[in-house]
Amino acid sequence: MKRVNDLKRILIYDTTLRDGSQAEGVSFTVNDKVKIAHKLDEAGVHYVEGGWPGSNPKDKEFFALMQKEPLRHAKLTAFSSTRRKGMSADQDPNYKELIDAKTPVVCIFGKTWDMHVTDVLKTTLDDNLEIIRDSISFLKKKKREVIYDAEHFFDGYKHNPEYALKTLQAAAKAGADILVLCDTNGGSLPEEIAGIITEVQETVTTPLGIHTHNDMDLAVANSLAAIEAGCVQVQGTFNGFGERCGNADLSTIIAILASKLDYKTLPENRLKQLRDIAYHISEIANLPIADNHPFVGHSAFAHKAGVHIDAILKNPLAYEHIDPTAFGNHRRFITSELAGKMPFVMKAEQMDLKIDKNSPEAKALLKALQEKELQGYKFEGADASFELFMKKFLKNYKPFFTLKGFSVHTRKLADDKDAQAEAIVDIEVKGKPQSSTFKSGGPVEALDQALRGALTPFYPTLKNMRLTDYKVRVLDTKDGTAAKVRVLIESQDDHDSWTTVGVHENIIEASWEALVDSIEYKLLRDSKK
């Protein structure tokens, strides 16, 4: 009979530091891993998998550091495989590293698919069962909570269900606390996942978990299907980081479980930190969150069409399935020719100002916006610049610095491999003149870093901000190299991302305008905290 999770409590197992670090372009330092582990601990995650101490020096150092600053709530978990064939667990050097990591929990993976046993592990099916039993028994004798990840479980079950079940039974008999069923190749469908889990529960009574990969964009759906079928633990990574197409995205799973299925995951008072956690990890990983990411993305609750905006103002449920603030996000109204005057009204309200959409102010703002658009500005994708435009128009803005002048020089000599750019920025900050110089391979980076160099002594929070995207568009190609360009700059810190715009015939001037807006918006937001 199908076992139902009557407690409606799901254990969140985060593997961002191990599986997530396998994403292309992600390389956490030891300090990065420590920061993320504590952030996840503060959020109320139940398990934080820190890495594989027997596989590399970085993970070994991480576990050594964590012994000096342990987690307060989450259970730190060390990861490994079952012991090597041809030796007992107490002889395997990997298991010495596991024990030396001194974590309360260990998670080991073993072979479930008979093809992997014979063709990859190169051993017999019976020997693999003994490897599983010996590995778990050894760890249980060392007083560890043991989570057993059944690698390629669903593929193995489809090919040879009898043997796949034997591997689970061997792990359960040896004392595994949780059996995690893994869709390692990410090739299963939700109905397959749910059906197989229901069948597994006919013969296995140990609590089950789920670990899915996103190769068919179904990792979240498969995880939810598994939970509804009776799994009590879900493994995944924040923002879906992981090898190939990634892992199950915990930020989405947690939000859905809490808001749609009424499961208990993170503590109630921590759910509003979900977006903050997602951006914090994204910032450290240097891997931006997609704007259209569900629940936590910059555009997740952005509205552009005038009809939608009008309806939202009357009743948010008209075009939003949930309150954005439930998970730390916020509603946005995008300025465009489709939106009319309502974005002005809404932005003004956010600035504690009241503007009637039929007032002279609203009409003047609309006219000013139209003039800007004639010049080539588009605020629909540059909400930060739009807010600054609004504040300046309404004379509700005090600049954080004043430009005295800047220069950018790019030079390449015949013998130089690459051109070099040098930027000099002269500004006045809080009545004090400041000058900064920076050399770089590119003029925009040189300008950005020179400006930051002058401002950071006065505004140290700028250290937590970085440029994540830079786009240039030629506005009228018939003008050739004399054409105006529109520069869009996306910036991010560990809480949010924002976009700014600049327009000019001179690409450096357009870039300067977008850079200044990006920094002023960051400082403006920080000043409100």
Per DSSP, the residues of 298-324 read TTTTEE-SHHHHHHHHH-GGGT-SS-G
Q: What is the CA radius of gyration of the chain?
A: 27
- Domains delineated in the chain: 11-285 (3.20.20.70), 302-374 (4.10.430.20), 402-527 (3.30.160.270)
- Could you tell me which residues are beta bridge partners of residue 435? 426
Place of tokens 């500004």: 427
User: Do residues 269 and 214 make contact, with C-beta atoms less than 8 angstroms apart?
Assistant: no
Query: For residue 341, what pLDDT is reported?
Result: 60
DSSP, collapsed to helix, strand or coil, labels residue 235 as strand
Q: Which of 267, 234, 329, 270 is nearest to 15 (CA)?
A: 234
Question: What is the phi/psi pair of residue 408, to 5°?
Answer: -130, 125
Query: For residue 395, what pLDDT is reported?
Result: 83
Buried b (16+ CB within 10 A) or exposed e, 370-402: eebbeebbbbbbbbbbbbbbbbeebeebeebbe
**Upper half-sphere CA count for residue 266 (Cβ side, 13 Å):** 27
Structure tokens at 436: 């900064």
Query: For residue 307, what pLDDT is reported?
Result: 63
User: Do residues 16 and 234 make contact, with C-beta atoms less than 8 angstroms apart?
Assistant: no
Distance of CA 324 to CAs 193, 301, 398, Å? 31, 7, 30
Query: For residue 87, what pLDDT is reported?
Result: 94
User: Do residues 62 and 50 make contact, with C-beta atoms less than 8 angstroms apart?
Assistant: yes
* Percent of residues in the chain assigned helix, strand, coil, to nearest 5: 45, 20, 35
Cα torsion 228, 231, 232, 235: sign: negative
C-alpha of 92 from chain center: 36
**What predicted TM-score, i.e. pTM, was given to this entire model?**
0.73
Distance of CA 480 to CAs 474, 505, 508, 510, Å? 9, 11, 17, 17
In whole angstroms, give the CA distance from residue 372 to residue 363. 14
Q: Would you call 159 exposed, middle or buried from its count of C-beta atoms within 10 A (0-12, 13-18, 19+)?
A: middle
Distance of CA 212 to CAs 62, 148, 162, 435, Å? 26, 15, 22, 53
Query: For residue 2, what pLDDT is reported?
Result: 44
Query: For residue 308, what pLDDT is reported?
Result: 65
Structure tokens at 229: 């079928």
CB atoms within 10 A of CB 507: 18
User: Do residues 485 and 503 make contact, with C-beta atoms less than 8 angstroms apart?
Assistant: yes
Query: For residue 112, what pLDDT is reported?
Result: 96
Query: For residue 285, what pLDDT is reported?
Result: 86
- Could you tell me which residues are beta bridge partners of residue 402? 428
Give me the residues of the chain with pLDDT under 70, please: 1-7, 305-310, 313, 334-348, 350-353, 380-381, 477-482
